[in-house]
Amino acid sequence: MNATLQTIRMLWWRELVKFVRDRARLFGALAQPLGFWLLLGLGFHGSIRLAGSASPASYLAYLLPGIVVLTILFTAIFSTMAIVEERRSGLLQAALVAPVPRTALVLGYGLGGTTLALLEAVLLLGLLPFVNGVHLTLSGLALTLGVSLLAGLAFAVLGFVVAWHATSTRGYHAVMNVVLLPLWALSGAVFPIEGAAPVLQVMMRLNPVTYMVSAFRQGLFGPDAAGAVSTPEACLFITTLFTLALLLLAIRTVRRSSDQGY
């Protein structure tokens, strides 16, 4: 047990150290979503009508939860990209032959990416004083942080699974961009589900990221926030199931690779 916890802690701490030392990565991780938020928010302000809300909200306010979730997804996903290079260098093979459960690798990398994503989400929440309509209560804050934690873990372990099978960082980038951008674009982050075409509404309701964005939005603006697709409890439940499913997939991937002599 001590060796397992030590391995998890070592991998987790290493991810934090790498992130802090890379100042360009830190700057880009915050500047890009901030610029994206301002560009879309000001560009489409007044062009998208927000229906189904008990309180008025500007498009900048509507867009903010989606931008924070986008930051969480990309930070968590790409924190695991180093696995591709570590496989090629032999570092990962050395970890596999160590007398620790393979689950420790998943949790170590996963918690590292989750922590980075959560830190960036908290920093972006510093924009809340400049956003109208925020109704943040103690329960809303708990919901927001809980969804951030689950979303970070879900996509960190998803990145782990893809990186485990990827043969190059280019292939990893290509796969993740194909997966991430549609998931985010069809999550209600940019436009409300009510105004979408019927086929898109079905796709959005089947998209687990939709419920992450909805729960995040309800945590900030209340249960009747514009763009909410279900109750906060239902959104949190679906997000939890999605996270557990990806976590089990990552653990199974590592164990199968070990059984096959990877």
* 223 compared with 157, residue with greater pLDDT: 157
For residue 132, with 0-12 CB atoms within 10 Å meaning exposed, 13-18 middle and 19 or more buried, which class applies?
exposed
Inter-residue contact 156 to 80 (CB < 8 Å): yes
Inter-residue contact 61 to 38 (CB < 8 Å): no
How high is the mean pLDDT of the chain? 82
pLDDT in the model for residue 98: 62
Say how many domains are in the chain. Answer: 1
* pTM attached to this predicted model: 0.86
pLDDT by residue (tens digit) across 50-104?
654 444 457 788 888 899 998 898 888 888 888 887 776 666 666 666 666 778 8
Residues 6+ apart with CB under 8 A from 209: 69, 73, 151, 183, 184, 186, 187, 189
- Greatest pairwise CA separation for the chain in angstroms: 59
Quickly count: other Cβ atoms within 10 Å of residue 254's Cβ: 20
| Segments forming the whole domain that contains residue 42 | 2-259
User: Residue 15 corresponds to which tokens in the numbers above?
Assistant: 């991810």
Average pLDDT over residues 16-38: 76
pLDDT in the model for residue 46: 62
User: In whole angstroms, how far apart are CA 32 and each of 38, 67, 81, 130, 174?
Assistant: 10, 10, 19, 18, 19
